A and B are shown apart, each in its own frame.
Chain A
Amino acid sequence: MTAGKENVDSGIPLLTVENLQVEFDTYGGTVQAVRGVSFSVDQRQTLAIVGESGCGKSVTVQSIMGLIPTPPGRITAGSARLRGHETLGRSTVGGKQIRGAEIGMIFQDPMTSLNPTMTIGDQIAEPLQVHRGYSASDAFTEAIRLIELCKIPEAAKRARQYPFEFSGGMLQRAMIAMVLSCKPSVLIADEPTTALDVTIQAQILDLMQELQKETGMAIILITHDLGVVARMADEVAVMYAGKVVEYGSADDVFYHSAHPYTVGLKEAMPMNDPARQHVLKPIDGSPPDLFAPPAGCGYCPRCPYAMQICSERQPQGHNLHGHHFASCWLHHAKSGRKPETIFFKDAR
């Protein structure tokens, strides 16, 4: 973890993404899937990216991993820097492969993400041979150790089994073992527990936290479940229609929500707090069509507080305090409506 120390000293975050923009050419036209996304994440930190399906959260992390097929996909602007080195459009940083070695990724559906014709042990051993030059037998021994580390019982026996012999939770553990094999400095988890039951979800989240404590890796967690965010995240980025609309620490985003969309999400979920019972308030309508992104704020047609300007011009990011940002016209100095009166009712 020497590299990590340098980071802390130099004050550069481990991974910084700035103004990322991604488009896809389709028969129906060009979709602007990601429209200027910025965030950063540091060692031992967990950043959660929250948002509905189609908001661009998966495309964002796939761009960082170099997983966007080009064509039809295209990164049109922005940068992603790992320890200050650009990663977009490159496959190595400082002699190390980015994909797999520096940044590891686990996916929502472990069943279709693993190779059904290879044993679990061989699949975990493969990156060790490719990225770290292990011999086949050493790699397999190390794979068994990693399977044990991820708390799969009877590791030696399980290593010789195929994915179909594993349950969903066990497959997700195997995928985590595979990612850990190269000791990545960043782990990207794209909806890692969405397909799992709550009891298994709790086990996987515990495992991720434990491994983070041990290895110091940063985690970028993509989810739509605010419960999972509350449990895991240090920092939260709320995405809507290809943009980050609110960004801040978990406490900022949950207790001082500063964007109407964040507030809407919270009100659409049941709270298990007898003292704060509320009637579910759905967000009417649906997200905008990103074939022709709106001129103004993407949330404007669904926003109960929308003003004239919201449909005409993009809101700027307003810094509320510390590094809590929200892109909303209500925070503009000349806005007639005081956001405090709308948003901060829920404050501690």
Chain B
Amino acid sequence: MGDLIEVRKLTRFFDLGGNQLVHAVDNVSLTIGEREIVGLVGESGSGKSTFGKTLLGLHDKTDGEVIFRGEALPKKYRPADFQKLGTKMQMVFQDPYSSLNPRMTVGEIIGEGLRLRSSLSASDVKEQVVDWLEKVGLHADHMSRYPHEFSGGQRQRIGIARALILEPEFVVCDEPISALDVSVQAQVINLLAELKETMGLTLLFIAHDLSMVRYVSDRMAVMYLGSLVELGKADEVYFSPKHPYTEVLIGSNPEPDPNTEKGRVSTSIQGEIPSPVNVRPGCRFANRCPKVLYVCREKTPELIPLRGEDRLVACHLIS
């Protein structure tokens, strides 16, 4: 099992003007193996979505590169690049309400990619759309309906069908379940897992629901303020977090079990995620970290492997 995607020092800044630079994604390196699900967690504002979008070329890269099957992807995508890479990489978006064009029928939405990127005839496209509607648990006669006629869970299935009809190898799922009810979340997760098996998909699963990420992912990556702080096997990261931020994040995740919850020592930390504008050197978590050292405010910790474990941690306490 080789690496499908290698992200090297990916960086994306947004210039606000007046010397203000948002460090949305800063120097993130990560590999994703073939048929692997990597879960990406972090608070809002940590740069998860920007990372996913920059990875797919929806944002231009400020620096760094993305290598897909040994081939470096363009730094700035031109329409022809989207045309070509759209069949290999796709995205499922967070909000099933705003990510579907309300003026297109479901059939048009799902079939658009095929229509633009293949030489299939209109009737063949239609056939495939019907096929996909059924694969994601909808009906063929839903084709002529409009998005507003569907519930959130059904819309998310439409978004999934739209992304997968081109049979991509790699899909970024950006919070695909956070807008859905619990009972429906499980439906969508099981659908994704099933399609991953049958199609041999590789997924980057972005979410803030830690329990769900642990459940679906092979490996888990934790982001804080634009940088990666910990990466390892999902269960290992969840059950024995090494970075103080991961510890806090997982310690704050309420478990559906009163005995665990009532016996839990409060691990909540003070403060909130700081502004990503003009970030200073040093560990980004330093001002909230319960275990902060002098060096943390001076030097930015590197993401280094933990001895004897398949785990990367960016923390001065570890080195």
Contact = CB atoms under 8 A, between A and B. Distances in A.
Asked if A and B are interacting partners, one says yes
Contact of A230 (B258, B266, B273): B258
B181 A282 contact: no
Nearest to B213: A270
B269 A199 contact: yes
B43 A225 contact: no
Contact of A202 (B183, B252, B255, B256): B252
Interface in A180-225: 197-203, 205-206, 224-225
Contact of B267 (A52, A202, A229, A254): A202
A26 interface: no
Interface stretch (B90-98, B157-165, B204-212): B204-212
A230 B183 contact: no
Interface of A: 52-53, 167, 169-170, 197-203, 205-206, 224-231, 233, 250-251, 254-255, 264-266, 268-274, 280-284, 286
A346 to B, nearest CB: 10
Contacts of A269: 182, 186, 211, 256
A224 B183 CA distance: 10
Q: For the complex, would chain B's binding face be called helix, strand, loop or mixed by DSSP majority? A: helix
Contacts of A228: 254
A286 B151 contact: yes
Given A199-B249, A206-B266, A230 B185 contact: no
Interface in B238-254: 238-239, 248-249, 251-254
A240 to B, nearest CB: 10
Nearest to A281: B186
A227 B256 contact: yes
Contacts of A255: 258
List the 5 closest pairs (A to B, CB-CB), nearest first: A227-B254, A282-B186, A283-B183, A226-B256, A270-B215
A113 B246 CA distance: 32
Nearest to B189: A280
B134 interface: no
Interface residues of B, number: 43
Q: For the complex, would chain A's binding face be called helix, strand, loop or mixed by DSSP majority? A: helix
Given A199-B272, A224-B182, 15 more contacts: A198-B254, A200-B43, A202-B268, A205-B254, A230-B254, A230-B257, A230-B260, A230-B261, A254-B257, A269-B186, A270-B214, A272-B211, A272-B255, A282-B189, A283-B187
12 contacts: A197-B43, A199-B249, A199-B252, A201-B252, A202-B251, A227-B256, A227-B261, A229-B256, A230-B258, A251-B258, A264-B183, A265-B183
Contacts of B257: 230, 254, 271, 273
B45 to A, nearest CB: 9
A224 B258 contact: no
B118 interface: no
Contacts of A170: 272
Given A265-B182, A280-B186, A254 B268 contact: no
A200 B185 contact: no
Contacts of B266: 202, 206
B270 interface: yes
A222 to B, nearest CB: 14
A274 B270 contact: no
Contact of A206 (B151, B208, B268): B268
Contact of A271 (B187, B210, B256, B264): B256
A203 B183 contact: no
Contact of A224 (B153, B181, B249): B181
A205 B261 CA distance: 12
A269 B248 CA distance: 22
B215 A280 contact: yes
B44 interface: yes
Contacts of A268: 182-183, 185-186
Contacts of A254: 256-258
Interface in B168-219: 181-187, 189-190, 208, 210-212, 214-215
Contacts of B239: 272, 274
Contacts of A231: 254, 258, 261-262, 264
A198 B184 contact: no
B252 A266 contact: no
Interface string B209-241: 011101100000000000000000001001100
